[in-house]
Chains A and B, each alone.
Chain A
Amino acid sequence: MSKAPIKYVNLLMLVFLLASGYVAASGLQEAKISPYMLFTYLKDSNSNRILQARMTNITQTGEVPLPGLKIMFYNNETILGEAVTDNSGNAIYTIDDTYQLFRSDDGSWPFSASFEGDSLVDATFGELSVTDVNLEMTLSDEEGKKFVSLAATMPSDEGQVPVAGEEISVFVPRMFSLLPVGTGMLDDNGTIRFEFPGDIPGDSIGNVTVIGRFNDHYLFGSVEKRENKLWGLPVVKAPPTYRSLWSTLAPKWMVVSLAIMLLGVWGHYTFVVISLIRIKKEGSKEAKK
């Protein structure tokens, strides 16, 4: 587990406490929480194989993450390792590169994750089987157009075999999710070429991360390749309205008009008060006479 700086941890306390509140509240009386496990596999851009178990409690108002639960990950019957769910309910285990995984007869790896259950939460488990696939992505600029070429191969007894007829997509990561910019089927050679749209907003200089990905594939799980390119439109944020009706500072003309009016009126008041003082002075002068 990496060391989380305390500020990050305490901001996550918001989510955690909400979760534990829900956990506590939904665990009414003596009923235990019956969790829902979403068990997924991801092969990321660096070819790391990652197993993720997400534990949530489905309530009336939505899904509530369950943190602090210990999940055991298995390959067939062998324990791979364990992880504790974080504040978002995710328990992540990265399979070591050198580890030799058990393969079923059809060539896929069987994985399972289990939670033994504790005093508050029932036990549950999940299974999936993953066929390994190698994905390559090439980004190219031709005649002013941008192209994403993807090639997928599967390891088999005859070596690497092209993956044909499977769906694959190109994504661009956005704030909450991945935005699909192209979807298609791999041809007989296991390749496909997408044209990358020219009007995807990027960051301030136009950087954008291009992701070629099998998204939750029934055979391969999620497999992706990411690359940063200057293929997006640079997005320059408009400067905020400094002075307007709804900003903190008022428009200049308002300030000036108000100042003039107030000075005018209170100036007259001052004059009158001074007059009264003069009357008083006159009176005391008269009295002295």
Chain B
Amino acid sequence: MNMKDKKKESSSRRRFLRNIGIGIGSAAIVSAPALASNGGDDDAGEKVKVLTSDGRLVEVSKSAIKVAREETKVQILESQKGLPHRKFVMVIDLAKCKNARKCVDACQEGHMLPKDHEWIQIYLLQDSDKSAKYWFPRPCYHCDSPLCVSVCPVGATYKREDGIVIVNSKRCIGCKFCMTACPYSARVFHWKDPEAHVPEDHVYDPELNVPPVEGTVGKCVFCADRLRDNELPRCVKACPMGVIYFGDIAEDAVTNGTETLRFSSLMVDKHGYRYMEELGTAPSVYYLPPVNRTYPVELGFDDLDPSISERYKTQTIPGNKNK
């Protein structure tokens, strides 16, 4: 095979991988070791061509794939139960945030969101006239007394045992009551077709919540799909400053991917608090106040797209016209 053919083959494989790779849960791709262990099943009957993890095209019996797909379907019911014996909590260190927005990008990429959908949104806040401004990342707080869950008429959003409030895009009727009920503006709505493409046999799973569905509500789900693999959520991993810590409150440990700390000592040493505690929603996200800051606030405007930096010139204190 000459160079041109080789290039064509690799670029078509690339395209193939790219098309399927963006979709999740397709059972048409099986890993090489798994094939080695149960491939060549003679009595399976119909065979189908699949791409293995090392780029080889092999034939696998169709029954093997069918079984796998049903396994993922079960997961929708599993996703309602949540991870047993866990209660997730997030700690955001406002002293370190400099609006790098890598968390926003990673979240949007992982969940196939359009660019104007921010499940984690960075605000520039100022508590009062004389206080300093600070960057404020706001994911969904997964409240222990969630108003959004209480008002959902069809049970499309529900709180699991592990504390995560999840959205089932297959059930949501788009009444937007949860959006009016959430006091933290944590939810976004798909006003038009998000034009996300997934492979045909993709099975929907509320933990990853892909593809986004027009006319439904979406929000941060603490990357419940990654938690099943003991992986940290995408925003936690992506933050270059290590601003976001995540962990199981029952284990009393939170980590930002680099350092692991005891949750209780973090709360005591750095006075962790919850935003608008008086609302009574009992959020699962704690903040560490922006004292002894690592970076000046102005650094957050560096390298920003003007469409984003402009928005911070509106108002930092709601109601006060900004200078």
Instruction: Check whether chain A touches chain B (CB < 8 angstroms).
Output: yes
- Of A103-111, A134-142, A245-253, the stretch lying at the interface with chain B is A245-253
Check: A119 CB closer than 8 A to any chain B CB.
yes
Check: B292 CB closer than 8 A to any chain A CB.
no
Closest-by-CB residue of A relative to B258 is: A177
Closest 5 CB pairs of A and B: A21-B21, A24-B18, A24-B17, A246-B149, A174-B253
Return the contact of B21 from the options A25, A61, A87, A248 (Cβ within 8 A): A25
In the assembled complex, which residues on chain A have CB atoms less than 8 Å from the CB atom of B54? 68, 84
Interface residues on B, range: 35 or more
In the assembled complex, which residues on chain B have CB atoms less than 8 Å from the CB atom of A20? 17, 20-21, 29, 53
Closest-by-CB residue of B relative to A63 is: B237
User: Are B251 and A16 neighbours in the complex by a CB distance under 8 Å?
Assistant: no
User: Are A18 and B24 neighbours in the complex by a CB distance under 8 Å?
Assistant: yes
Check: A274 CB closer than 8 A to any chain B CB.
no
**Residues 124-152 of A at the B interface (beta carbon under 8 Å):** none
User: Are A4 and B25 neighbours in the complex by a CB distance under 8 Å?
Assistant: no
Contact A178/B53 with A13-B25, A14-B225, A68-B32 known, Cβ cut-off 8 Å? no
User: Are B21 and A22 neighbours in the complex by a CB distance under 8 Å?
Assistant: yes
For the complex, what is the distance from the CA of A25 to the CA of B16, rounded to whole Å?
Answer: 10
Contact A237/B85 with A17-B29, A20-B21, A179-B262 known, Cβ cut-off 8 Å? yes
Return the contact of B17 from the options A7, A21, A201 (Cβ within 8 A): A21
Q: B167 to nearest A CB, angstroms? A: 14
Check: A79 CB closer than 8 A to any chain B CB.
no
- Can you name 17 A-B residue pairings with CB atoms under 8 Å? A1-B33, A14-B25, A14-B225, A24-B15, A24-B16, A24-B21, A61-B105, A61-B109, A84-B54, A87-B31, A119-B10, A174-B251, A177-B255, A246-B145, A246-B150, A246-B158, A246-B159
User: Are A178 and B230 neighbours in the complex by a CB distance under 8 Å?
Assistant: no
Return the contact of B260 from the options A84, A87, A174, A247 (Cβ within 8 A): A174
Check: A160 CB closer than 8 A to any chain B CB.
no
B17, B71, B106 — most chain A CB neighbours (10 Å)? B17
Return the contact of B34 from the options A4, A17, A177, A245 (Cβ within 8 A): A4
Check: B64 CB closer than 8 A to any chain A CB.
yes
User: Are A200 and B33 neighbours in the complex by a CB distance under 8 Å?
Assistant: no
For the complex, what is the distance from the CA of A70 to the CA of B235, rounded to whole Å?
Answer: 30
Check: A289 CB closer than 8 A to any chain B CB.
no
For the complex, what is the distance from the CA of A62 to the CA of B64, rounded to whole Å?
Answer: 34
- Of B186-194, B242-250, B268-276, the stretch lying at the interface with chain A is B242-250
For the complex, what is the distance from the CA of A63 to the CA of B30, rounded to whole Å?
Answer: 23
In the assembled complex, which residues on chain A have CB atoms less than 8 Å from the CB atom of B27? 10, 13
In the assembled complex, which residues on chain B have CB atoms less than 8 Å from the CB atom of A13? 24-27, 29-31
Q: A5 to nearest B CB, angstroms? A: 9
In the assembled complex, which residues on chain A have CB atoms less than 8 Å from the CB atom of B49? none
User: Are A240 and B161 neighbours in the complex by a CB distance under 8 Å?
Assistant: yes
In the assembled complex, which residues on chain A have CB atoms less than 8 Å from the CB atom of B252? 199-201
Contact A248/B20 with A20-B53, A61-B238, A68-B54 known, Cβ cut-off 8 Å? no
User: Are B14 and A120 neighbours in the complex by a CB distance under 8 Å?
Assistant: yes
For the complex, what is the distance from the CA of A137 to the CA of B149, rounded to whole Å?
Answer: 49
Taking A11-B72, A14-B229, A177-B257 as known contacts, 5 extra A-B pairs with beta carbons closer than 8 A to each other, sorted by chain A number, are A13-B30, A16-B29, A62-B234, A176-B246, A240-B161
